[in-house]
Structure 1
């Protein structure tokens, strides 16, 4: 009996060790957005996320430390200079993430970046995770990338946040138009606020 318990406990621990969370894009905007999910070996077509809805996909990693990018556009075309990127990587079992305006900002101006006019946030319900938060219309180089090498070009640390030592089982929320109210969801026919979406 004890051997069955030990075997079951070991199997559960192995399952927990390999549990994988989700990258969730919450479109709080009053307008629709489109997403392209990209990494070194994969690129989705445009994924439509209507206003006031969310999209979720499991984390993935092409290799240890390789990045994945969720590119956000206001149209079903991915046009250079007009998309915001939510980026994450899994390195040594921990999640690291950032918001990038590198492809849409012009100097300190990120008005071409979808969601920037109403704020962007990247965070997790996991308390140990950091929070990237760029307030509506602000210049926020400590919270998001405006240039590819901020240490060299701006004299600032890379705006990378993470959940060191917490594994990959938590969800990571990417909120577009984060200053707008949380999304609503229906539970047993009643509408409630989803604090994280």
Structure 2
């Protein structure tokens, strides 16, 4: 069970959303479900502050700029249909910024149902669409879809194939540190059209949220090329990639890093294997840096 506590000295999704600069790399959650969802952004062990909760109605969005690990622990954006962060009906969008290795600095990311023991958590039975990176240049998804992936699932069976269900699953993906992640809950299709206004404030807060706006406004903002810009429409090859359910990877992609030098590739493979067995999960431990 995950405790819900006061936001004192803890991360607040309310503040992170208000302060997000979309010209910098970010994680974004878009609610396409026909129900409200409630989310918290936490580090492992901190609990979920009830006055740091953001509510997303249908069509609303949440974004936060990436923040580095704390005590070797990554960030988990916990999402629930209820206002209680109970640890039995939580979907998690997780990221871990690896910056300690000079030749191998990447964002490790995943979608997790490990805290969905009851089975009724957002974007599991009703699908999701996740896009990591701009999908151009060196940020194109690898053939195995483990690097800067586009993940599309439509029901519980297909979503379980591309997400963590058990802590020793191998579903961690990677992308460059300067590339953003968009997580569209409910429906496995690529996004089209505009979405709603700012997310709701928690009941304890009287000040309205102003930093999140319609997706169309993000397009108009035109972030610099060094950050991941939102695209109103997707090219045909991306749509084709999203149309099929992404298979769960069974082994390490032999060439997951497009257009990187051989030296970097060798370093990457060795370090990915090391992280898989030691740093992030060590199978059972591989998910440990995220879950609170």
Structure having the larger proportion of residues in helix = 2
Equivalent residue, structure 2, for 1:175: 184
Q: Deviations over 1:23-43 (max 9, x none)?
A: 100111111111010114865
The reply on whether 1:51 has 2:58 as its aligned counterpart is yes
Q: Match for 2:155 among 130, 136, 146? A: 136
Q: Is there any run of 5+ residues in structure 2 with no aligned partner, and where?
A: 1-22, 100-104, 140-147, 196-213, 218-230, 235-292
Q: CA deviation at 1:64?
A: 8.2
Structure having the larger proportion of residues in strand = 1
Q: Could you state the TM-score of these two structures normalised by the residue count of structure 1?
A: 0.69
Q: CA deviation at 1:175?
A: 1.6
Equivalent residue, structure 2, for 1:73: 80
Equivalent residue, structure 2, for 1:33: 37
Equivalent residue, structure 2, for 1:6: none
Q: CA deviation at 1:113?
A: 1.9
Q: How many residues align?
A: 160
The reply on whether 1:160 has 2:172 as its aligned counterpart is yes
When the two chains are superposed, the root-mean-square deviation of aligned CA atoms in Å is 2.8
Could you say what secondary structure the match of 1:138 adopts? helix
Does the 8 Å CA contact 1:28/1:183 hold for their aligned counterparts? no
Structure 1's 47 and 143: CA in aligned 2 closer, same or farther, altered over 3 A? same
Q: CA deviation at 1:169?
A: 2.1
Does the 8 Å CA contact 2:93/2:111 hold for their aligned counterparts? yes
Equivalent residue, structure 2, for 1:115: 123
Structure 1's 183 and 177: CA in aligned 2 closer, same or farther, altered over 3 A? farther
Q: Distance in 1 between matches of 2:70 and 2:172?
A: 19
Structure 1's 148 and 68: CA in aligned 2 closer, same or farther, altered over 3 A? same
Q: Is there any run of 5+ residues in structure 1 with no aligned partner, and where?
A: 1-18, 151-157
Does the 8 Å CA contact 1:28/1:178 hold for their aligned counterparts? yes
